[in-house]
Amino acid sequence: MYAFDEVAAAAGEFREAVRGARGFRPLSVKLKLVDGCNLRCAMCDHWRRERRERLTLERLRALFAELSALGCRKVHLTGGEPGLREDLEAIVAAGTAAGLRVTLTTNATLFTRGRARRLVEAGLRAVAVSIDSPVAEVHDRQRGLPGSFEKAVAGLKNLRKEARRGKLTLAINTVVTRLNFRTLGGLPKLALRTGARALRLMPVDDHSGEALALGADEIAEYDAQVAPALADEGLRLGLFADASEAWVFGRTAEEKARATRGDYALGHYERRPCLAPFTHALVDHDGRVFVCCMARGLRALGDVTERPFTEIWHGPAYADTRRQILTPARLPPCARCDDFLDENARLHAILDAPADL
């Protein structure tokens, strides 16, 4: 959710921001609440690291006020597993009170019926639950903990039961790996059974040392045996807006070759720069600020425990990163990123539209 109507209404301001490598507005901000996790996912390293200091509720309230004043519309809470924070409901309430649309990604294993009710009542607007297969054993293997599928489905159903108390929408996020890709045809039925209204498939980014990415033969098998039926059923049930959402490795030979190398942007950023740094930010669990989650391995642009977010957003480090992303070199992680492809298409359409006379 990037508030595209708002960008279009201020198209001239947006164009000038891009030309000058200045931030437009941080319309959507991702906030990692905690570094730890209660699962042991094969494709993730949150559980492998020591849980470090986190942002306090007081500091988050101040951050939400800053973001709102800067024109932010949405804060997306993630982790690690944000359900580990005992004050999660208070964080959601603080974001809502600041006028922000608060959304969440979670494994849902810690979401009892009572906690689901409190989160909805606090103003939570959307939840993406991480479920990696409709087959319990496959999900549990990928998530590293027996019984995690049963707990995740129970948490998702608890959220569905409480959704009527607010304006909550539900989705399923699935990381596509060598372990699970053959089972994904059953995801639409799982979504129907649990009340999810959307499916989001994400090819694994091999960064934790596990060899989980699909090779060329496996991508061909996925395209031949999984993607067609998944696309048809997902469209029929309204879980996909477009069939391309099921073809996560692309359709052409060139796109599939790129996906085999882990270049999930499929060449997009060789043609056009990513505009996310002009409308988006990531605040890590310890207060460090980056342009996005893919850039967490690069130099931090600032720290909200030391300086106001406003200073960081308008500061020289952010400007330098924006200038770099406008050059052909881009940022090193850009080729691997498929997070903002749809958003970039819409932002570039606004950027390219004829200016008002």
For the stretch 113-164, pLDDT in tens is 999 999 999 999 999 999 999 999 999 999 999 999 999 999 999 999 999 8
In the predicted model, what is the mean pLDDT of residues 25-37? 95
End-to-end C-alpha distance for the chain, whole angstroms? 29
> Considering the chain, what percentage of its residues have pLDDT values greater than 70?
95
Quick one: pLDDT at residue 49? 63
When pLDDT is averaged across residues 84-98 and rounded to a whole number, the result is 97
Can you tell me the mean pLDDT for 221-241? Answer: 97
User: Of 312, 262, 259, whose CA–CA distance to 284 is shortest?
Assistant: 312
Tokens 């094969």 label which residue?
Answer: 42
Beta bridge partners of 101: 74
Query: How many C-alpha atoms does 224 have within 13 Å on its Cβ side?
Result: 6
Are 27 and 73 in contact, with CB atoms under 8 Å apart?
Answer: yes
- Binned at pLDDT 50, 70 and 90, residue 212 comes out as very high
| Interval 296-333: pLDDT, tens | 889 999 999 999 999 999 999 999 999 999 999 999 99
Check pLDDT > 90 for residue 54.
no
pTM: 0.95
Provide the pairing of β-strand 302-303 with 288-290: antiparallel
Residue type, 6: E
